[in-house]
Amino acid sequence: MLGSLVWSIVVWNVPITPQRLWPFASKKPAYRRAQEDFPIIMQACPNVTALGIVCNPSSRFFSAHTCLQGLTMLAHLRQLEICCGRDPKFMSVSFFPANIDFPVLEELSLECLASGGDFGWPRLLTLTHLRLRCSEAFYGASLIPKGLSSLRSIELFDVGTYLGAENQIEGLYEYADVLESLAVALGCWATTPAILDVSRFKVLKHLVLDFLALVVLPPNHFDSAVQPRLSLHPLPPTLQTLNFLDLVATVETLNRLHPRSTHLLYRELSRMR
């Protein structure tokens, strides 16, 4: 079967019609079969190891949830990337069906996720790498899933929590004894204070930080939003790489706001040579 040779699938949903076609498109009924066709495609391609889903929020019928609905077992899937699209109403996006199973999934990337109290994480027993971008949690939800024994890498890019959601920095500490790679960049805000204490990560090997993201609040933040404080002393003894995005601006900001932190940073960097 031809389907058995397919290893990777990317689903693009861009229901945008060029202006010159509006007179014709307005006479055509909206396409509603995406949620019906996708499970059929996945069943015809049982060996898929990588899946990408990109959703446009203007679509009424097509979403990550409708794509995955009807699927219960993705036996060979090791990499899953989902871009939910910005929801103009800021509603919770619960796109994981309750009975879906990812027995060998290793990498999960979610973009533009807005998770509320009704959001539920699936079983992710083999997950090693979690990436969240432009995502928020509220009403008791958590950006960092719990109880993932295999998780070794977390990347947070422009994420925030509010309205009773668990602070994402506190969520990181559940994996302080096993996490080997951590990246925090582009924004990290919450409505409860926290300290990103790097020394608590006992086996951390790779660290990427955007210091300005921990200082400058995003333009659309809540009035009560705060950034986590950063503690870099001492660095974990296992650390192999430390990357700062926009290092010049980082050092200038440190010199202005936290002169002692700059001295400690230089000392720790010299120790890593």
Find, among 112, 122, 187, 194, the residue nearest to 156 by Cα. Answer: 187
Question: Mind listing the pLDDT tens digit for each residue in 162-208?
Answer: 878 888 999 999 999 999 999 998 888 887 888 899 999 999 999 99
Residue 230 has pLDDT above 90, yes or no: no
272 or 119: which leads in pLDDT: 119
pLDDT level of residue 221 (50, 70, 90 thresholds) = low
pTM here is 0.81
pLDDT (0 to 100) of residue 25: 43
Question: Mind listing the pLDDT tens digit for each residue in 125-160?
Answer: 999 999 999 888 888 788 899 999 999 999 999 898
221 or 99: which leads in pLDDT: 99
Residue 260 has pLDDT above 80, yes or no: no
CA distance 187 to 134: 9
pLDDT level of residue 271 (50, 70, 90 thresholds) = low
pLDDT (0 to 100) of residue 27: 45
CB atoms within 10 A of CB 33: 10
Across-strand partners of 251? none
